[in-house]
Structure 1
Amino acid sequence: MPELLDAPALCSTCSPPLPDNPPPSEPALQCPDCDERAFCEDCGEQATETHETVNDGVLCTACTRRWSECEYCARYTTTGEATVGGDIVCDTCHLDHYWRCSDCRLLSRYLRSVDSGDEVCRDCQSHYRECSDCDYLTTSDDYCSSCYRDRRDDYIHDYSYKPDPYFHGQGPVFLGLELEIKTLGRSLQACAEIAADHLGDLGYLKEDGSIGYGGGFEIVTHPMSYEWAIAEFPWNMLRELRIRGAYVDDHVGIHVHVSRAGFDSPAHVYRWMKFFYRNETQAVRLARRRSDDWASFTSETRADIAKFAKGERFGHGRYQAINVNPEDTFEVRIFASSLHSQQVQAALAFIAASVEYTRTLTAGDVARRRGWEWTVFVTWVRAHRIYLPLLAEMETLQCAS
């Protein structure tokens, strides 16, 4: 019995003797090291090895299996959200250090901006292309929306753009072509580059309200003589534009400006406009459309031809078959747009031919030789081979008689 009284008191947790040799009547005493050990937040037992939780508590090693370790702060949590790496981030670290991917909706510390305004994680970047000019991601072929607009503006001017005219060929009659086209999606940039490269100093590209912003453009040429246009205009450009995705529909047209200076006199202007309006049916067929909204044949305009021939420029608006508003030209607006050479050439040819046909038309021609009639004009066109594109289109559209 004396030996038991002399036995050292042991720590109830780790077993080594307790310091100061307390009496064995207090067997639950612990050594200082064990006395400082915390209790597990999950099971309530003292933890030999502790793991910190987001609530500033501790877990024993066994209980960590039921919790999730935050990938950022390495503390344990029972909530949190998944990250792109497949781990969990606690709520506090989520708010301070993570952002949600717009595509996969998982959390990530690193996101890339997309030109749509979204932000995506590294795993989702593979669904996009990098803009060729900046760090943004894009779903387009080459450029983000911002850089695309900047590059587009290098080629397509706003509607008010109007440089000084540069004349091509020999007058006195000069024609200016305005060809409205549309494009598919992001082919606008490629089509604009094609058109600008082919045109060179012959013309330029503009926005137009009938096309709509970003959906196409208007090809505008400087003044050309008809002969020069047929020989020198880059006609193969139209085919290349078609291949690249340009197209036309009922909302776009061809406008042809003819120089006022190309007419001999007010009487010549009168004869030309009179011939034009008297043959409305055939002109509309040749134009491949009737557009009362954009190129109207009105009885009011027809009644005022004499005033317009003498220089009156206003009264019925510009959306007439022949717009008399421009100071230096008459604008013929009747034609449907086209990306086929014969149809565009025929539009130019019709204006040039009608001006020349009416230049020498006399009262005797009208009275005795039916000079106002379309069939007589067609006969005249057949005799002037320079207008073959017009004759070919007339035959195609069955208005050559």
Structure 2
Amino acid sequence: MPTTISGANHTLDECIGCDTCAPPSTPTCDGCGDPTIDGSPCDDCTTCDRCDSVVLDSETTETVRGSTICEDCLDEYYWQCGECDGWNRDGSDCGNDCDQSDDDDDVLVHSYDYKPYPIFYGAGPLYLGLEIEVETPYNRDQACAQLVHDRLGDIGYLKNDSSIGNSGFEVVTHPMSYQWALDNCPWQFLDQLRAAGCAATRRTGLHVHVSRDAFVSPSHVYRWMKFIYRNQQQVITLARRKSPQWAAFTDDDRRAVVDYAKGTRGYARYRAINTGNEDTFELRIFASSLDPGEVKAALGFAAASVEYTRDLTFHEIARDGGWAWSSFVDWLAARPVYAPLTAQLEALACVC
């Protein structure tokens, strides 16, 4: 008869060093911390083939070449095939026999965490990426997704987004320079979506990713963030929404600007400026829109605010009101390339 261990619900043969039976010196699994016989990964954990760290099986992904990769390495070094969503080290098509048809929803609208290898359009270092959340009419997701897919081509792709509610998707573009986007993005697709019954409602947002490489120094990042935070009301008016839930302006972030400028990544995503991404800052402030003029203005503000603060001097800030919204508007007036932004400021009566 098997010997039952006092105080435990298992026999001696079944015990591998549980919390009840094992002394404090018992080796533990590096992944989950559970006791093991010799400290090797337990049955629920595995070793990442790239960094050799031990993690839970549920926190790994298998690449198209059969490697087991942890979430940190996946986010940092791997990208998805545009055909089958398989993960690749170099971001190229995986070479699998991707037999999904063009009518497959999974090809047109990817999962929310889809991460293709970025394609850069235009001249850097300032690149901007759009995310436009769109609600679609009931039972029309497929037709509307096909419309965007046909118009955008390789410029962008679609993802599911649970925050939209009802039915819909998120339109995501690859990184573009501001001028390239104005000249080459097929903006008419927004009008066509609206004509097809799609909508941008109070539940949907528009986000602009700004490349960190566009900033010449930590001081430049500091000036850019301070300019946005010091003009919160005007920025909210331009953005056409105030959203404490999805794009909050907080005192904590204002106090942390110096740290963010030095490279600290914020822990909270749903802020006016999301600082949690390694390669971009994400302006989450804007209400979604299917109006090309409004979307161009959002891109314009992202680009113009970076350029305006690039060479802003201490003298201009301290004596000439460099952080004042009126100074920014005067600067815009001398630069016709930002005409879509100037037009929106005039329409919203936030030229002050």
User: What residue identity is the alignment partner of 1:288?
Assistant: R
Equivalent residue in structure 2 for 1:288, among 217, 234, 240? 240
User: What residue identity is the alignment partner of 2:206?
Assistant: I
1:175/1:223 contact within 8 Å kept? yes
Write the distance in 2 (CA, Å) between the matches of 1:347 and 1:253: 12
Deviations 1:159-206 (A, max 9, x none): 110101000000110000000000111121111001001110001000
User: What residue identity is the alignment partner of 1:259?
Assistant: S
Q: Which residue of 2 aligns with 1:171?
A: 124
Give how far 1:363 is off.
0.2
User: What residue identity is the alignment partner of 1:232?
Assistant: N
Q: Which residue of 2 aligns with 1:264?
A: 216
Q: Which residue of 1 aligns with 2:170?
A: 218
Q: After the TM superposition, list the runs of 4 or more consecutive aligned residues in structure 1 that deviate by more than 4 angstroms.
A: none
Matches within 5 A, 1:1-400: 151-212=104-165, 215-315=167-267, 317-400=268-351
Write the distance in 2 (CA, Å) between the matches of 1:211 and 1:371: 38
What secondary structure, in the 3-state scheme, does the structure 2 residue paired with 1:289 have? coil
Write the distance in 2 (CA, Å) between the matches of 1:254 and 1:246: 15
1:294/1:319 contact within 8 Å kept? yes
Write the distance in 2 (CA, Å) between the matches of 1:383 and 1:314: 35
Write the distance in 1 (CA, Å) between the matches of 2:107 and 2:282: 28
- Equivalenced residues, count: 253
What secondary structure, in the 3-state scheme, does the structure 2 residue paired with 1:178 have? strand
Write the distance in 2 (CA, Å) between the matches of 1:386 and 1:166: 24
Write the distance in 2 (CA, Å) between the matches of 1:264 and 1:336: 29
What secondary structure, in the 3-state scheme, does the structure 2 residue paired with 1:388 have? helix
1:177/1:255 contact within 8 Å kept? yes
Write the distance in 1 (CA, Å) between the matches of 2:107 and 2:198: 19
Give how far 1:400 is off.
1.3
Gaps of 5+ in 2: 1-101
Write the distance in 2 (CA, Å) between the matches of 1:150 and 1:196: 11
Give how far 1:267 is off.
0.4
Write the distance in 2 (CA, Å) between the matches of 1:368 and 1:216: 49
Write the distance in 1 (CA, Å) between the matches of 2:266 and 2:306: 22
Identical counterparts, % of pairs? 54
Q: Give RMSD over aligned pairs.
A: 1.6
1:191/1:245 contact within 8 Å kept? no
Write the distance in 2 (CA, Å) between the matches of 1:184 and 1:162: 26
Deviations 1:294-327 (A, max 9, x none): 0000001111000000000024x01100000000
Write the distance in 2 (CA, Å) between the matches of 1:358 and 1:365: 11
Give how far 1:151 is off.
2.9
Provide the TM-score with structure 2 as the length reference. 0.70
Provide the TM-score with structure 1 as the length reference. 0.62
Give how far 1:286 is off.
0.1
Gaps of 5+ in 1: 1-148
1:170/1:225 contact within 8 Å kept? yes
Deviations 1:44-102 (A, max 9, x none): xxxxxxxxxxxxxxxxxxxxxxxxxxxxxxxxxxxxxxxxxxxxxxxxxxxxxxxxxxx
Higher relative contact order (CA 8 A, sep 6+): 2
